Structure 1
């Protein structure tokens, strides 16, 4: 049951990524290697992109590949 809930959350996050991600996928929004903060929950990467937003958008790619592999 826990696995089903986690999978459902993962799928919902992937589907609704444009509405729940605080920033765009490639949008530079902060300092380089910024720490976790109220603005950037997981910090920023080497280009100043928000890691939470990138992880949410990355879920879309992962979900697409999983569905495609299952369909084949």
Structure 2
């Protein structure tokens, strides 16, 4: 197994990352912080994961929010 000591996201799936952010902020606040439609209009884990997996810029914003929230 590769060890990546400088990567705080190593071993964290996108699903787990999103679930933790939703638990911490809730959909409404998450949608205010990262203004993407899948967080603001009928949000669901499935639709958000689909969008984030296809949209690199949005995934990077969500990943950065996770790092800023839980690692800084």
TM-score for the superposition, normalised by structure 2: 0.31
Structure ID, larger Rg: 1
Give the helix-richer structure, 1 or 2: 2
TM-score for the superposition, normalised by structure 1: 0.31
